[in-house]
Amino acid sequence: MKREPATATQTEEQDGYGSQVLELIGTLDGHQRGQSLFDSLLEKILTHEARVAVMGLGYVGLPLIRLFGSKGFNVTGFDIDKEKIGILAQGRSIIKSVPSETIAKMLKEKILTVTADPKALGQADAIIVCVPTPLTAEGKPDVSYIRATARAICAQMRKGQLVVLESTSYPGTTREVMKRELERSGLKCGESFFLAFSPEREDPGNKRFTNEQIPKIVGGIEEYSRRAAAALYGEAVSRVVEVSSCETAEAAKLLENIYRCVNIALVNELKMCFDRMGIDVWEVIDAAASKPFGFQAFYPGPGLGGHCIPIDPFYLSWRAREFQFNTRFIDLAGEINIQMPFYVIAKTEEALRQRGKRLEGAQVLLLGLAYKRDIEDPRESPAFKIIELLEQKGAKVTYNDPNVPKFPKMRHYRHLKIKPVPLTERALSAADVTLIVTDHSVFDYEWIAEHSNLIVDTRNACGRLKDWQQKIVRA
């Protein structure tokens, strides 16, 4: 039987079908390539032969280095700050939570290598990214550090590597920024390399939970990426929580921080409200906390601090606007928390005025630069805004913080004139007001109260000092 020549329509249909078949074959080939590379990487991870590189050697990166090193992995620490690399190369740590002895031991045993040379990234089997994600001056997410890091990895990238982003950002960052930049190498995610997001869960100063005990959330660009990242963290932590996508993992991290932001804003607002009513907000919270269910205590303060809570909620509110959605709770919480340093200044001015003094020209001794008790981390501490406002009002400000003995280098607030002073009887008695911003447990509050003329207490650190209440003002 003679076959009729194909019509134009039939030819188009056949060509379309053919392209679909070729696309399917290509996908299968890519899947097979991904399977082979995944199997090879998985074997390295499970035998601890994989080399782990950590980019960003700060409050998140250094604890990760210690964690993976303690599990028998060889670790490369990378940072663009050559001064920091020089310090670490001498076996000296830059944060208290990772002792210098640990760094020195890892270097001596050749478990750890520290470098500022990006070429070392090409030798790693897994690269974990822990770089800053600040806000711009306009309050928008600044992913420039993530983008620059991805480009540095891309320049050294080889097949079979796993890249994990731990830096907190808006949902979509891993896929839209990291993946896009990494695939400029010509390699394809899921076929030639693997990419996942696993949010950092550091809590500086928390001695109840170690890195190993804190569950790790993992979301991948696709299945192999998720499984590879889950396998890596599974060799280091007690529990891995796998989720369906990078976006889910990114959103989970934001929820954790927004939960705290909103609840802290609530108690900060109640503090200001109850103050007008003559009610002690700390006594109220302690009483409410006696309920064994349905209540979790949050405590007010002079404002939010740390890298996460003051910043991360605005990542989601910014992203939500791209979907025509207004995050009213988040925005309101942000407004309240941002106003707290101004409230502290107002209370300080009022306390001085009642004693016949003005803030202008007053000697103010500020206790605590770190953003919370018993840590050395000053990032986003409300102390800096309070100092700026005090100096704008004409006050002469000094500070003492045994955990931050030297005024830190900050992206902002470089213009501040404040200097550290020893905490002595003379320093306390010379100050018109002692302003407690961070309630370090090392401070002897009974002794501080005895020698101070006036105390403005933003943390209720002196709440139990019954003998000195006449000179203590809560703010």
The reported pLDDT for the residue numbered 5 is 42
Which pLDDT score is estimated for 294?
Answer: 95
Give the pLDDT of residue 240: 98
Q: Classify strands 419-420 and 396-400 as parallel, antiparallel or unpaired.
A: parallel
Please indicate whether the domains covering 30-244 and 261-474 agree at the CATH topology level. yes
Taking 70 as the threshold, does the pLDDT of residue 29 lie above it?
no
pLDDT, tens digit (0-9, with 9 covering 90-100), for 198-243: 999 987 777 788 889 999 999 999 999 999 999 999 999 999 999 9
Would you kindly state where each structural domain of the chain is located, as residue ranges? Answer: 30-244, 261-474
Residue 30's pLDDT band (cuts 50, 70, 90):
low
Instruction: Please give the pLDDT value at position 22.
Output: 39
> Tell me, what's the pLDDT at 15?
47
pLDDT at 18 over 50: no
Q: Report the percentage of the chain scoring pLDDT > 90.
A: 83
Residue whose token pair is 């050559």: 82
pLDDT at 289: 97
Q: Model confidence over 86-98: pLDDT tens digits?
A: 999 999 999 988 9
* pLDDT exceeds 70 at position 10: no
Whether 308 is catalytic is yes
Q: Catalytic one among 130, 154, 246, 308?
A: 308
The string of pLDDT tens digits covering residues 315-339 is: 899 999 999 999 999 999 999 999 9
Span 54-82, average pLDDT: 96
pLDDT on residue 205: 75
| Mean pLDDT (whole number) for 76-82 | 97
Q: Is 80 exceeded by the pLDDT of residue 354?
A: yes
- Indicate the CATH number for domain 261-474: 3.40.50.720
User: What is the CATH topology of the domain spanning 30-244?
Assistant: Rossmann fold (3.40.50)
